[in-house]
């Protein structure tokens, strides 16, 4: 089974600054999908960004971008111009391309605190 590791249990950033959340994963597959989900205190799970492993170009969604290093099996999330509303738990997730029922395999999460 694929494992997803988020080595930073907590991170802190000042408003308007940039922060990077780390994620590494272990897999023997060549094709797969990676996701970052956000869980604010409301506990709703919200998709932030996704990356297909066969695409070399890093995904970007407004202030959110990823640094996908396939050989290193690394998938970090960069949040630019941080806002108070970005405070949440962030989960990195892996999804197999070919099997495992399409379920998401999550890391343990990083709690992001945004200070004024």
Partner 1 sequence: DTAVSQTPKYLVTQMGNDKSIKCEQNLGHDTMYWYKQDSKKFLKIMFSYNNKELIINETVPNRFSPKSPDKAHLNLHINSLELGDSAVYFCASSQGQTSSNEQYFGPGTRLTVT
DSSP state of 101: G
Which SS3 state, helix, strand or coil, does residue 97 take? coil
Radius of gyration of the chain (CA): 14
Q: Which residues in this chain contact partner 1 in the complex, by CB under 8 A? A: 32-33, 39, 42-45, 47, 50, 52, 89, 91, 95-97, 100-106, 108-109
Choose between 3 and 18: whose C-beta lies nearer to partner 1. Answer: 3
Vertex 25: Cα angle to 38 and 101 (nearest 5): 75
Residue 55 CB, shortest distance to partner 1, in Å, is 10
Least distance from partner 1 to the Cβ atom of residue 67, Å? 19
Q: Residues with Cβ < 8 Å from 16, sequence gap 6 or more?
A: 81, 82
As measured in angstroms, the least distance from the Cβ of 56 to partner 1 is 16
Nearer residue to partner 1 within complex by CB, 6 or 76: 6
Nearer to partner 1, 101 or 116 (CB): 101
Identify which of 104, 110, 103 has the alpha carbon closest to the alpha carbon of residue 38.
Answer: 110
Q: Nearer Cβ to partner 1, position 11 or 45? A: 45
Shortest CA distance to 31 belongs to which of 70, 65, 76? 70
Q: How far is the CB of 38 from partner 1 (least distance, A)?
A: 11
């Amino acid at each position: 089974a694929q494992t997803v590791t988020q080595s930073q249990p907590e991170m802190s950033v000042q408003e308007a600054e940039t922060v990077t959340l780390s994620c590494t994963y272990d897999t023997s597959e060549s094709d797969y999908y990676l996701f970052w989900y956000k869980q604010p205190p409301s506990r709703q799970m919200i998709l932030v960004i996704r990356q297909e492993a066969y695409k070399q170009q890093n995904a970007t969604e407004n202030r959110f971008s990823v640094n996908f290093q396939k050989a290193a099996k690394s998938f970090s999330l960069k949040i630019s111009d941080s806002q108070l509303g970005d405070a949440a738990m962030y989960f990195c997730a892996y999804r197999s391309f070919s099997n495992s029922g399409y379920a998401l395999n999550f890391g343990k999460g990083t709690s992001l605190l945004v200070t004024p």
